[in-house]
Amino acid sequence: MMDIDNWWQGGVIYQIYPRSFQDSSGDGIGDLNGITKRLDYIVDLGVDAIWISPFFKSPMKDFGYDISDYCDVDPIFGALSDFDNLLERAHALGLKVMIDQVWSHTSDQHAWFEESRQSQTNPKSDWYTWADAKPDGSPPNNWLSVFGGPAWTWDTRRGQYYLHNFLKSQPDLNFHNPDVRTAVLGIAKFWLSRGVDGFRLDVCNFYFQDLQLRSNPVRDDERRGANPHDWQSHKYCRNQPENLSFLGELRALSDAYKDRCLMGEIGDIDGLPIMIEYTAGSARLHTAYSFDFLGRNHTPSHLGSILAAWQSAGDGWPTWAVGNHDFPRVATRWGGNHPSPAKLQLFAAFQLSLKGTICLYQGEELGLEQAVLEFHQLQDPEGIAFWPAKPGRDGCRTPMPWDSSLPHAGFSDAANTWLPVYAPHFEKAAAQQSRDPNSLHAFYKRLVAVRSSQPALRLGDLELAASTKNVLRFDRTLAGETVHCIFNFGATPVELATEEFTGDILLASGLNENSASPEIAPWGFAIIHRKSE
């Protein structure tokens, strides 16, 4: 059994996308003081921590994931004093605070890059990944940007190409340079010393690239989507062995502080093996999540195979997210265009019954579906580049609806907001749901409370049980206590064995246990506590 004295083990983390959470200044963009204003709402959900997406100085080409100063707050979001107030208030309410750290790349307006691009001999000339052109003038290899096109841009001042795995305004740092690693660890120390409880590490498997800059091979399964980036197997532009050494340095730094957590994002289509590797032992990440639950496939066989792979892999601690600011909302992705309340409850119950740390994205507790926007409303550079085949990430980033009786659903007093509040979201606003004991919001509160009150659910082992085509079963066990979990992902009722109901039902939906043949309705579930013998 692992050490379970850490708040993040089994905890529930609520992700906040600050641009869209709450505007306090009247400019149509969410900010840090807006988050502080809504902390009581988050505490009322019963979660353990918040994770705040980037709020640092940035030209906002990628809405904060292109950072020009890691140790200051962008004026759009407020000031450092506003963050300090937020941190103090959250801690007073018993909430831990995690912040995003985006270290694989900076903005091209960062002072480091502005110096690096001036010449091949300046003090920061080797702080980014630069390479000579091929003899024919083309880029040094076939690497592609996540946002489309080559991952290389020619810079006339240097007479070289620079690498950018994302936008051309997001040049990649050269982590092979020890000065870069030292500078990044200095950023981490700045925020840890300020009192943050941990980091979410953006694409932490992108820090190093192959020193020989070898071209990537074609994917074996020859996937063909809207983005050619996904046609490659990214063997040389990420997931390099040097990553582990740096994560060890970072872990040693964080362990010098009390009760801190490093949660990595594994940015890869096939990220589970890397997620397992990066959390093994006690000298790497505390926890990590991959994209395995962020796709559309949610059949019991698929979900079960992911859990089985994790269970057989080693001693790490997983994090599970079914939604975030980069993927279509789970209500639509798994539930369809008009998801039923039963489906939304099922998806939530499944996620919050898992062994690991749980990440909830803002609005999931309200059942917000993916917003549909017109092309002229888009802000996301990915959506603009791949429209209409892949409309991008704006649909999961529209403002949070707080009160349906107010303009912009209470998100802002501005005449216009940076993205519009999606009209169907008004009827799902937090104020209205919080007054309804039968709402999805009320269900989430009960579900989080059940998880928090049951040690076996929060910290116990997970043992997969016999499952059928539409039904996934597993047990959570700890110190002689068992919580039996059953989930019907199908559109037809499923008969169950009577012995499955031995114990106390903690939470259930669509469960008929009184008939001669007990059954669970379509999209139903049951979480049952079995007393120790």
Residues with catalytic annotation?
Answer: 202, 265
CA distances from 68 to 112, 118, 211, 217, 507 (A): 9, 17, 26, 33, 47
Q: Any idea of the CA torsion for 354, 355, 356, 362, to the nearest 10 degrees?
A: 20
Q: Kindly report the CA angle at 176 between 170 and 180, in degrees rounded to 5? A: 60
Tokens for 55?
């709020």
Largest CA distance in the chain: 81
CA dihedral sign, ordered 277, 199, 196, 319: negative
What are residue 201's phi and psi, to 5 degrees?
-100, 105
Cis ω for the linkage preceding 388 (within 30 of 0): yes
DSSP 252: H
Q: How far is 41 from 44, CA to CA, in rounded Å?
A: 5
∠364-319-175 over CA atoms, to 5°? 115
| Residues 6 or more apart whose Cβ sits within 8 Å of residue 385 | 147, 148, 392
Q: Where are the beta strands (DSSP E) in 3-133?
A: 12-16, 49-52, 56-57, 69-73, 96-101, 130-131
Q: Which amino acid is at 435?
A: R
Contact 525, 485 (CB under 8 A): yes
Cβ contacts of residue 393 below 8 Å, gap of 6+? 325, 326, 327, 380, 382, 383
**Half-sphere exposure of 25 toward its Cβ, with a 13 Å CA cutoff?**
16
Cα dihedral: 61, 62, 63, 69 (round 10): -80
362, 368, 369, 371: CA torsion to nearest 10: -70
Beta bridge partners of 198: 98, 261
DSSP string, 217-249: PBPTT----S-GGGGB--SSSS--THHHHHHHH
* Closest CA relative to residue 457, chosen from 375, 351, 367: 351
Measured between alpha carbons, how far is 62 from 58 in angstroms, rounded to an integer? 9
